[in-house]
Structure 1
Amino acid sequence: MSGQQHQTKRLRSIALHLIVTAFAVVMLYPLLWMVSSSLKDNSEIFIQAHQLIPSKLNFSNYVNGFKGFAGTSFVVFFKNSLIITVFSVIGTVISSTMVAYGFARIRFKGSRFWFACMMMTMMLPAEVLTIPQYIFFQKIDWINTFFPLIVPSFFGGAFFIFLVIQFLRGIPKELDESATIDGCGRYRIFMQILIPLLVPPIITVSIFKFYWTWDDFFSPLLYLNSPKLATVSLAIKNMSDPTAQTDWGAMFAMSVLSLAPIVAVFIGFQKYIVEGISTTGLKG
């Protein structure tokens, strides 16, 4: 009977692995198709769409893609995206940790009310803010600059603030009290004691903000009018010209390269994503 149970358990394990593998293939197929198309001639991309292995490797798509459009190299677009993403991540980390520290460690009048207001902003659709924000940035002459894409990050984000707050609530307040007895002020407690302990949620916030900013298409489309200021996502869209023949091979090649930073960040820091979200206190 035990042998039959062992065989049944093995069959279930095999079936489970087959199902998971099938789902993985379905999810990875679009990515594999894009990589394959980036190495095909334009004439083969849609005619031989079902064939993942190109009949001949065509690396000229990457050369043509880097030429960009409107006389601007694709290197410029990568630089624009990197500038916006890095400063947005820095702003988000600084503002979110500071606000989270205020809510989690400092008792002030109306703290619960303001915390509830902050949490309510998570339920507010971003589309509702689009027109007021655009009018505001237009009034201060920030249209066609990076400022509308960077500056709001320095005012925090409800999701990131809540993430850091949850982590802070798991850190014993006795650490703050001991530091206060030793003569530390709030600034030193925050910078020298709590920040080193907040490395997991800080890295988690950085990763998520990096993903969302790097992949953002709508905001650059709304605020950036000059081709020289375009981000990677906007530049890839602009490579598709409905009035002329589109170089699909070059477009797919740049799409593949645009995923490289995201894949690199995920591979390098994936353990911090789970640790930053699941950890609610200090490890014993």
Structure 2
Amino acid sequence: MVQFLTLSEAVEACLKDGDTVAMEGFTHLIPHAAGHEVIRQGRRHLTLIRMTPDLIYDQLIGVGAADKLVFSWGGNPGVGSLHRLRDAVENQWPQPLALEEHSHAAMANAYEAGASNLPFAVFRGYKGVDLPKVNPLIRSVTCPYTGEELATVPAIRPDVAIIHALRADRAGNVLLEGIVGVQKEAVLAARRAIVTVEEVVDDFGPRSPNAVILPHWTIAAIAVVPGGAYPSYATGYYKRANSFYKAWDAISRDRDTFLAWIRENVLAKRPEHFAQLVRRAPQAA
């Protein structure tokens, strides 16, 4: 049964050392506040899953929270590399990081398989590419009906999925609108799900054609964290802070500068810090 908790209570209750964790959101609704709480609670030996790891995973990797990354693309969108990710892979700082790389299509299908309680995903893909040479989990099967050879990957079944959404109602149902990635599939595939939201409402009201509603029974904990996606954006609430994505390139290049930023902006701050940032940011139309 879903519980309304503080963010610290939700992470404490749902996420343990050694868990496999998927924090999803595509450009939009990236769960930064929740990721910072994971850092504050000092979680270790995590396997991080994300189709497009960007700044929040750079931060988790840089503080030594992760042993492994499962992904299909990694970078600072529109800017360049993730320097903490590169340092972990190239120099084993602050510790070694194992990589499991897939295509976008493979991960989307793997989430769908996990959400469907299937052991693996089967799809058309990986024709004439090199990823199967470095990822032994990419295999194939022959279709019993047509004889066609199809690609397979294991289903993604995280211990915990963490997403940010726009609103929850008082029964614990959750609404996402705007750009929607694989948040629904990640939540349905996971054993436990934490959702941070901008606000709680009595009724969702009119909805856009691409709206997704996650029923309360798919969620373990909801935390109200206004601004919880910042510096990414939340449709109707605040815009993307492009200036921060640019600034992160310099912050993350140097280990000492990165650690100083973490101490000042993560370890010393609580979720209400995100609401303060958003109040100073341009609002979404």
Task: Verify same fold: TM over 0.5.
Answer: no
Structure richer in strand, relative to its length: 2
Q: Which has the larger radius of gyration?
A: 1
Query: TM-score normalised to the size of structure 1?
Result: 0.20
Structure richer in helix, relative to its length: 1
Query: TM-score normalised to the size of structure 2?
Result: 0.20
